[in-house]
Amino acid sequence: MASRPVFIPSKDFPFVKEVMVEFKWHAGFAVSQKQKSIVEFHEAIDALGLGKSSLEISSKSSLEIGTALSAFNLKVELGNGQYVAVENIFQAAKIFEQGGPFKDLLQTTPLEAKRDIRLKESGDMVGFRGKEGVWPLEPKTLFYDWIYINALYRQSELASAVLAFDSFTDIEFNPAKSFNCQARSVALYIALFNSGQLQSVLEDSNKYKQLMMQDAEGTIQKPVQKNLI
């Protein structure tokens, strides 16, 4: 057995419901084994009444839309006409105590960007450098979700097709090891779309920050962070 989170769009803050689900795990590194596990996962989600139409978002997905939505495959056109994967943008934006952001990571493959040794040898992270300025580390998925939903919005066919699903998974995501998850970002996109807030937050990053940095009562929270460079 294994346990993984399913992400479900919600109308209320924080707009994504995360539920851990147990399912039968098919051991092995082959994609076919991962896809068997995904089937078990989605059947368990259905049986629990958490979602009737689940979408796996990863390179292991059996659906073309699922693989296209992987952060390694979903791309954004930069001002110079270059198409860059969300993963590259995320890694290239990281600021550390002893270096960064490493903009040259926009020129590598997504896997090379993720594994660049400088990301581990430059001290503690202090923030992210986006085109809007420096972003804080808290809330933990704030910046990643921002660049992902922007990228998805620009891919109109994918953005339209994903509305047919009601729950999202990433078989490779382990919440014990990382915070950001592409499946969660898609669920947030759907939630903002359904609530009619998507357009306004994409037009103004400050509105997005205010929306996502509130608490359950709607009070804006100021994140505690280190001095940003």
What are 83-138's pLDDT values in tens digits? 999 999 999 999 999 999 999 999 999 999 999 999 999 999 999 999 999 999 99
Contact 95, 125 (CB under 8 A): yes
Start-end of H helices in the chain:
31-47, 64-68, 86-92, 110-115, 118-121, 142-154, 156-161, 182-194, 198-203, 205-212
What is the model's pLDDT at position 79?
85
Does residue 123 sit within a domain?
no
Paired strand residues for 20: 5
Does residue 102 sit within a domain?
no
Amino acid at 44: A
* 3-state class (DSSP) for residue 85: strand
Name every residue whose Cβ is closer than 8 Å to that of residue 67 and which is 6 or more positions away in sequence.
58, 59, 61, 73
Name every residue whose Cβ is closer than 8 Å to that of residue 122 and which is 6 or more positions away in sequence.
96, 97, 98, 99, 100
Which structural domain range is residue 59 located in?
Answer: 2-71+164-198
What is the model's pLDDT at position 221?
55
CA 50 to chain centre: 20
* Per-run averaged pLDDT (10 residues), the chain, 229 residues: 97 96 95 96 98 97 98 94 96 97 97 97 97 95 98 97 98 94 98 97 96 70 46
What is the model's pLDDT at position 54?
98
What is the model's pLDDT at position 226?
47
CA angle 48, 32, 187 (to 5 degrees): 45
Does residue 84 sit within a domain?
no
Q: What is the pTM of this model?
A: 0.93
Question: In the structure encoding, which two tokens stand for residue 87, read together?
Answer: 């993963």
Does residue 111 sit within a domain?
no
Does residue 48 sit within a domain?
yes
What is the model's pLDDT at position 217?
53
Domain count, the chain: 1
What is the model's pLDDT at position 214?
83
Does residue 22 sit within a domain?
yes
What is the model's pLDDT at position 215?
65
What is the model's pLDDT at position 29?
87
What is the model's pLDDT at position 227?
43
Does residue 60 sit within a domain?
yes
What is the model's pLDDT at position 155?
96
Task: Return mean pLDDT, the chain.
Answer: 93
What's the farthest any 2 CA atoms get from each other in the chain? 49
Question: In the structure encoding, which two tokens stand for residue 177, read together?
Answer: 């090891």
Does residue 211 sit within a domain?
no
Three-state SS for 184-200 is: HHHHHHHHHHHCCCHHH
